[in-house]
Amino acid sequence: MIIIGPITLALGAPAFGFAIAGIWNPVFGWVSLACGLVFGALAVWGGTALGGRTLNRRWPEVLAEVSSES
């Protein structure tokens, strides 16, 4: 959380900045929407790829934890 929080804020800053500028000029509102969609799609793709690699690396421990009987 300490690492991901600032990264998320930094990646979302352009969309937020354009949204604020969109108050005065509506074109920036549309630019903000495009930035949000692009950065959101990249975040989903990157998170899925990173999570998949982490799961592949730790799969034996996950399988052992899930399949152990209490």
State the residue range of the domain holding 39.
4-67
Q: Which two tokens stand for residue 53?
A: 């690699």
Which pLDDT score, from 0 to 100, does residue 12 have? 85
Residues of the chain with pLDDT under 50: none
Domain count, the chain: 1
Which pLDDT score, from 0 to 100, does residue 56 have? 92
What single string gives the DSSP state of each residue in the chain? -TTHHHHHHHHHHHHHHHHHHTTT-HHHHHHHHHHHHHHHHHHHHHHHHHHHHHHHHTHHHHHHHHH---
Which pLDDT score, from 0 to 100, does residue 1 have? 65
